[in-house]
Amino acid sequence: MLWKFETDPRILREEVTASREEVVFIDEIQRIPSLLDEIQTLIDETEKIFILTGSSARKLKRKGINLLPGRALSFKLLPLSIEEIRSYLPDFSKATLKKILRFGELPRIFTLVFNNKEKTATDLLFSYTETYLEKEIKAEALVRRAGNFSNFLKIA
C-alpha cells in the first residue's frame, strides 16, 4: 500500500487531512523518505500525531533527509535488561544466560527458545540472516566482496 505514496507523496497529505484519526502510524519510514517533507508540513498545519518507525535511520542521515528537527521525539528500542528477563524467566541461571547469548533477544526468537523450540528459533534466525541482514548490508554497499561476506554470515 505504501507504493502509492512513493509515486506521489502528496497523497499522504490528502488522506491524513481527510481522516478523522488523530494518530497516524507509518512503519518503515526509511523506505519512502520523501514522505518526511509532507509529514513536516502536516505537523506544522494540523493537530495530528505521527508515529514513525523504522530500522535504518543511518540511511536517512547519510542522505541528508529531513529528520523533522524540532518536531519529533526520538526513541530507541533497546534489548531487554536483566531485570526484564528475570521478570519473564524467574529461574534465571547460567544456562539461561548462555541461551540469551547464543540466540539473542529478538522477541519471537526469545519466546521460542524459552518454550523449548530451539530448532524453530535456529531456523528463523538463519532466515532472518539470509533475508534481512544480508540484503540490508548489501543494499548499503558496505560490503565490497559479497562472497566473503556470505561466508562470514554462515560462520557467524
The predicted-structure confidence for 79-95, as pLDDT tens digits, reads as follows 778 888 888 888 888 99
CA dist 133 to 55, 83, 84, 129, 154, Å?
11, 28, 26, 5, 12
User: 142 pLDDT exceeds 60?
Assistant: no
Of the residues 11, 31, 62, the one at which a domain ends? 62
Mean of per-residue pLDDT scores for the chain: 81
Q: Is residue 50 part of a domain?
A: yes
Q: Is residue 115 part of a domain?
A: yes
What average pLDDT does range 100-128 have in this prediction? 90
Q: Is residue 73 part of a domain?
A: no
H or E segment to which residue 110 belongs: helix 107-113
Asked whether residue 34 falls in the same domain as residue 86, the answer is no
Print the domain residue range for 111. Answer: 82-155
Q: Is residue 121 part of a domain?
A: yes
Provide the whole-model pTM: 0.58
Bigger pLDDT: 118 vs 152: 118
Lookup result for grid cell 507504493:
3
Cell numbers placing 108: 519471537
User: 121 pLDDT exceeds 90?
Assistant: yes
**Structural domains of the chain, count:** 2
| pLDDT at position 15 | 93
Say how far apart CA 121 and CA 100 lie, in whole Å.
Answer: 12
Q: Is residue 96 part of a domain?
A: yes
Q: Is residue 14 part of a domain?
A: yes
The set of long-range contacts for 69-78, using a CB threshold of 8 Å and a minimum separation of 24, is: 71/40, 71/43, 71/44
Q: Is residue 131 part of a domain?
A: yes
Asked whether residue 97 falls in the same domain as residue 136, the answer is yes
